[in-house]
């Protein structure tokens, strides 16, 4: 068992060290091309959030013509009415009521496909209805579309809160951005987020759209990233200078449901990335079971404490550099408390995601 633990730790540590190195290689975009663009916002029962989202999109400094399509996915609240109010004042904003899918395409992906068919922007920007972007969001992402780049993603953070629980939650969420950024900059396109995403329409079409993953309920971001990189010659990039804000899940159930949904895609990843995630799962599971055994003398030796200390060290390196790069040093004080709950919740989310024990927007 110690051999398995050792191998899992080596793979895990190698992956995080690669991310650590990549975080030091991030750079601003250099392209000055600003082609016509489309912004897609999938929305289902978002009347409480869509106003702030659209207000922010109206403030974009993007110099070329752009349109905003809100994809109303069978909302039962006043989402459509809220969007219609904006449309009456700003012709750039359009409401598209998404018809039911006629195949097994996942609901959100079906909505996005409908939006793509109803638009013609050369660059396609995607964010969620509960997100607020900054005025230079489109311009900053567009600056990374240098020749050969087909997809760009960026950072997502929660608004600043002071309580320890809130900072732990924010740090956990920020860690996904740190890993996405560092991995991308090191030539390892691991994850992306549909809260802060853009791609060339040409790259999307050349890759075959969502392809074999169209029926997967999640993955309109990182699985699309993998499809474009795998099926085409387009590269991906990360925009470190641009981030969006979103709201955290306040309930434990909502938090776990979200993490299960994210984890559900793991076995759709390329083999090398899946190997890293499996190694992390084995390491976490062994430590969760092994630490109590070691404390009570049932697992003698130094393997367990050494692996635990090593995990904390490589985690800390990534968190420290990520917090420095993205100016999130205020979250560092929550690192050790967050490490205590990291093992059990990641394992629970991984198992729940693999079993499909999650819902998205009531589905």
Q: What residues contact 292, with CB distance under 8 A and at least 6 apart?
A: none
Distance CA 79, CA 28 (A): 36
Running along the chain, 363 residues long, what does each successive block of 10 average in pLDDT? 92 98 97 98 96 98 98 95 97 96 88 96 98 98 98 96 92 95 96 96 96 79 94 97 90 79 76 89 93 88 94 98 97 94 86 73 60
Tokens 């996405």 sit on residue: 180
70: helix, strand or coil:
strand
Residue 236 contacts residue 141 (beta carbons within 8 Å): no
Tokens 């660059």 appear where? 123
In this prediction the pTM is 0.92
CA gap 237, 233 in Å, rounded = 13
Residue 113: the pLDDT is 96
Q: What is the pLDDT of residue 362?
A: 61
Domain range annotation of the chain: 2-22+268-354, 29-251
**pLDDT number for residue 171:** 96
CA distance 271 to 233: 19
The pLDDT, as a whole number, for residue 361 is 63
The CATH class of 29-251 is: alpha beta
Structure tokens at 307: 């692996």
Q: Where do the H-state alpha helices sit in the chain?
A: 2-23, 50-58, 79-89, 107-117, 137-142, 164-185, 201-206, 222-231, 252-263, 271-295, 303-325, 335-354
Cβ–Cβ < 8 Å for 92, 68: yes
The answer to whether the beta carbons of residues 33 and 145 sit under 8 Å apart is: yes
Answer yes or no: are the C-beta atoms of 166 and 249 closer than 8 Å: no
Burial class (CB in 10 A: 0-12, 13-18, 19+), 88: exposed
């Amino acid at each position: 068992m110690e051999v398995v633990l050792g191998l899992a730790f080596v793979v895990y540590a190698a992956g995080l060290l690669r991310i650590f190195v990549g975080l030091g290689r991030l750079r601003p975009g250099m392209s000055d091309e600003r082609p016509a663009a489309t912004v897609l916002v999938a929305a289902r029962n978002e009347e409480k959030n869509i106003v702030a989202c659209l207000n922010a999109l109206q403030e974009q400094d993007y110099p070329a013509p752009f349109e905003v399509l809100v994809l109303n996915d069978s909302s039962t609240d006043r989402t459509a009415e809220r969007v219609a109010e904006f449309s009456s004042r700003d012709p750039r904003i359009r409401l598209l009521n998404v018809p039911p899918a006629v195949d097994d395409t996942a609901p959100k992906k079906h909505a996005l496909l409908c939006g793509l068919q109803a638009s013609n922007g050369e660059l396609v920007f995607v964010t969620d209805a509960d997100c607020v972007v900054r005025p230079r969001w489109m311009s900053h992402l567009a600056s990374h579309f240098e020749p050969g780049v087909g997809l760009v993603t960026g950072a997502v953070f929660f608004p600043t809160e002071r309580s320890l629980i809130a900072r732990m939650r924010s740090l956990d969420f920020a860690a996904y951005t740190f890993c996405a950024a560092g991995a991308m900059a090191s030539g390892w396109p691991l994850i992306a987020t549909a809260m802060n995403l853009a791609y060339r329409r040409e790259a999307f079409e050349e890759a075959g759209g969502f392809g074999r993953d169209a029926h997967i309920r999640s993955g309109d971001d990182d699985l699309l990233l993998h499809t474009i990189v795998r099926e085409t010659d387009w590269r991906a990039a990360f925009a470190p200078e641009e981030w969006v804000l979103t709201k955290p899940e306040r309930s434990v159930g909502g938090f776990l449901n979200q993490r299960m949904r994210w984890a559900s895609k793991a076995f759709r990843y390329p083999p090398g990335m899946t190997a890293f995630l499996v190694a992390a799962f084995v390491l976490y599971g062994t430590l969760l079971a092994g630490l109590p055994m070691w404390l009570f003398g049932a697992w003698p030796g130094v393997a367990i404490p050494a692996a635990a200390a090593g995990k904390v060290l490589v985690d800390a390196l990534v968190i420290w550099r990520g917090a420095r790069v993205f100016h999130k040093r205020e979250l560092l004080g929550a690192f050790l408390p967050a490490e205590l709950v990291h093992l059990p919740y990641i394992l629970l989310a991984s198992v729940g995601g693999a079993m499909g024990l999650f819902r998205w927007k009531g589905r």
